[in-house]
Chain A
């Protein structure tokens, strides 16, 4: 399957990724080539195969619902681009 410019623009929107207008044709080429490689999967009949999500087919481990983490808000927020009064700041969302 190949993709076109509309697909690239749509996927970039879904991925929240700004892409230069000028680079779109290159993405069309690259993604089409990669998808052509991926298409080889269709040569195999997998109707009765059970999907493998984990290499060792392990189940997710559970633990008691206990508080194990300590509050490190100040430490983590020291890394943030913009904070105020313990809150992460972003541009106004609700008018």
Chain B
């Protein structure tokens, strides 16, 4: 039962083959068994989960169920969940019981989904390996000596090890897609503004976007049907009709025009990854797609630009953690300055401090034009590259990450090398486009992800393109041996 997709579980709940309480109990037992080794959950909300499951069973019986009613889910610990500890992976919020609910998690609760717990993550979503969490590193279920990717590493590891059938994640520079690739799952970063950011602890506000982590594209569509939509409480939320994301899944992709950016297949890409991606492209050609080489000339500038925009916005957003109203406060502050600096110095970990420092530096007097303004200009150039590409192709494909999962500790001491592991995902956030990572094969027993980038608000097409591939292949159904 634990390896079934949400579409299958939903059918099993409706037919009465299993109840939500039984299903929830099964996943809670799996969490208890495997979480000590994998560390993918920060909090396990057993009592609330069983209560929500009982309510879901009543809804199912009364015929008042949605496709997600009774389905267990893990929420990234970046979403505020009322009455439940919400840490964002930081010591700063170790004592923070959220006093309100994020729109995203509220929508899942309203649909009848059952929260199993809050998943581990890089501190304040800053990291690509889940090693910056105050609560310790998460292990990759495919090889526990390796990282699951980050920052949504706990969400992704939980789903990969079948400790949850689905999870929410957030993606500021690749934080859904890169771990999905490293753990062999389907992950979708929607168009900026598609999913409400209300109650989602802010990292870089012009880039952050929540999305689903699932086994299959069909499951991702089911989650998107719940998550997407306008929210007046998020000032950057987009007022635009939400389609049924499952409606186009079965459409033929005959004649689909796929663009392959030549910059994504240059130098830095591991040969063995390139071969996996090439065979995935061939599978698409066999399904009737047409492939065309394109160019995104400003690709190499995405990472440098990101490391101005994201830290600048992070240093601004994280100024709210001051030890006064909530969060960590140092002992015996001697004056207000001491209270601020020591509370923040003690509450934040090394990577978060590094980014606050970078952000403060680039925004400091005299440097704004040289850094932030310059970065915003290049951001437009990056977006224009995509705009031009989408005039001739329907979707863009390439690798999600330049390598498979790396070893724990391998890049932890070298921030720049770590940053470059997001080289293929970051440009998408800069442009605000939607993109998915789908499992496309293995290298030495480790999963490889294919990235599919779509035009603005074309999540339905992305999911259709992913689903058609998943009808022809079974990479997305592979489960690590220990967790079958």
Interface residues of A (CB under 8 A from B): 3, 7-8, 11-12, 14-19, 27, 30-31, 33-35, 37-42, 44, 46, 49-56, 58, 60-61, 63, 72, 75-76, 78-82, 88, 90-93
The answer on a CB contact under 8 Å between A18 and B324 is no
List, sorted by A's number, 16 A–B pairs whose CB atoms are closer than 8 Å. A14-B360, A16-B319, A16-B341, A17-B357, A18-B346, A27-B357, A31-B357, A34-B416, A41-B378, A44-B381, A50-B380, A52-B383, A75-B99, A76-B99, A79-B96, A92-B335
Which residues of A are found within 8 Å of B342, using beta-carbon distances?
Answer: 18
In the complex, the chain B residue whose C-beta lies closest to that of A77 is B325
Which residues of B are found within 8 Å of A75, using beta-carbon distances?
Answer: 99
Q: Is B469 an interface residue (CB 8 A)?
A: no
Please classify how large the interface on chain B is, using the bins under 10, 10 to 19, 20 to 34, 35 or more: 35 or more
Which residues of B are found within 8 Å of A56, using beta-carbon distances?
Answer: 191-193, 238, 432, 456
The answer on a CB contact under 8 Å between A37 and B376 is no
Which residues of B are found within 8 Å of A8, using beta-carbon distances?
Answer: 357
Q: Mark B122-161, 1 if CB is under 8 A from A, else 0.
A: 0000000000000000000000000000000000000000
Among B238, B304, B334, B379, contact of A52 (Cβ-Cβ < 8 Å): B379
Which residues of B are found within 8 Å of A49, using beta-carbon distances?
Answer: 377-378, 380-381
The answer on a CB contact under 8 Å between B345 and A18 is yes
Q: Is B107 an interface residue (CB 8 A)?
A: no
Q: Is B244 an interface residue (CB 8 A)?
A: no
Q: Write the nearest CB–CB distance from B457 to chain A, whole angstroms.
A: 9
Q: Is B353 an interface residue (CB 8 A)?
A: yes
Given that A17-B357, A72-B99 are known contacts, is A91 also in contact with B333, CB under 8 Å in the complex?
yes
Instruction: Give the docked Cα–Cα distance between A60 and B236 (Å).
Output: 7
The answer on a CB contact under 8 Å between B361 and A11 is yes
From B10-18, B172-180, B367-375, the one touching the partner chain is: B367-375
The answer on a CB contact under 8 Å between A17 and B336 is no
The answer on a CB contact under 8 Å between B377 and A76 is no
Q: Write the nearest CB–CB distance from A5 to chain B, whole angstroms.
A: 13
The answer on a CB contact under 8 Å between B304 and A41 is yes
Instruction: Give the docked Cα–Cα distance between A18 and B339 (Å).
Output: 10
Which residues of A are found within 8 Å of B191, using beta-carbon distances?
Answer: 56
Given that A49-B381, A56-B456 are known contacts, is A41 also in contact with B308, CB under 8 Å in the complex?
yes
Instruction: Give the docked Cα–Cα distance between A44 and B339 (Å).
Output: 43
The answer on a CB contact under 8 Å between A88 and B373 is no
The answer on a CB contact under 8 Å between B336 and A93 is yes
Q: Mark B420-450, 1 if CB is under 8 A from A, else 0.
A: 0000000000111100000000000000000
The answer on a CB contact under 8 Å between A37 and B361 is no
**Can you name 9 extra interface pairs (CB under 8 A) apart from A15-B357, A40-B304, A90-B324?**
A15-B315, A15-B344, A34-B416, A37-B419, A41-B301, A50-B380, A55-B192, A79-B325, A80-B325
From A8, A51, A78, A80, name the one whose CB has the most chain B CB atoms within 10 angstroms. Answer: A51
The answer on a CB contact under 8 Å between B339 and A91 is yes
Q: Is B307 an interface residue (CB 8 A)?
A: yes
Given that A16-B344, A41-B378, A82-B329 are known contacts, is A31 also in contact with B358, CB under 8 Å in the complex?
yes
Q: Is B406 an interface residue (CB 8 A)?
A: no
Which residues of A are found within 8 Å of B300, using beta-carbon distances?
Answer: 40
Q: Is B198 an interface residue (CB 8 A)?
A: no
In the complex, the chain A residue whose C-beta lies closest to that of B374 is A41
Among B346, B364, B378, B379, contact of A11 (Cβ-Cβ < 8 Å): B364
The answer on a CB contact under 8 Å between A44 and B99 is no
Among A16, A38, A92, contact of B340 (Cβ-Cβ < 8 Å): A16
Which residues of B are found within 8 Å of A11, using beta-carbon distances?
Answer: 357, 360-361, 364
Q: Is B303 an interface residue (CB 8 A)?
A: yes
Q: Write the nearest CB–CB distance from B172 to chain A, whole angstroms.
A: 12
The answer on a CB contact under 8 Å between A17 and B307 is no
Among A17, A52, A90, contact of B348 (Cβ-Cβ < 8 Å): A17
Among A38, A53, A91, contact of B336 (Cβ-Cβ < 8 Å): A91
Which residues of B are found within 8 Å of A40, using beta-carbon distances?
Answer: 300-301, 304
The answer on a CB contact under 8 Å between A55 and B235 is no
Which residues of B are found within 8 Å of A60, using beta-carbon distances?
Answer: 235
The answer on a CB contact under 8 Å between A58 and B236 is yes
The answer on a CB contact under 8 Å between B360 and A15 is yes
The answer on a CB contact under 8 Å between A51 and B373 is yes
Q: Write the nearest CB–CB distance from A76 to chain B, whole angstroms.
A: 6
Residues of chain B in range 292-338 having any CB-CB distance to chain A below 8 Å: 298, 300-301, 303-305, 307-308, 315, 319, 322-326, 329, 333-338
Which residues of B are found within 8 Å of A14, using beta-carbon distances?
Answer: 360, 364
Given that A11-B361, A79-B96 are known contacts, is A46 also in contact with B344, CB under 8 Å in the complex?
no
Q: Write the nearest CB–CB distance from B154 to chain A, whole angstroms.
A: 24
Q: Is B356 an interface residue (CB 8 A)?
A: yes
Instruction: Give the docked Cα–Cα distance between A91 and B322 (Å).
Output: 13
Instruction: Give the docked Cα–Cα distance between A63 and B325 (Å).
Output: 28
In the complex, the chain A residue whose C-beta lies closest to that of B99 is A75
Which residues of A are found within 8 Å of B460, using beta-carbon distances?
Answer: none
Which residues of B are found within 8 Å of A50, using beta-carbon distances?
Answer: 377, 380
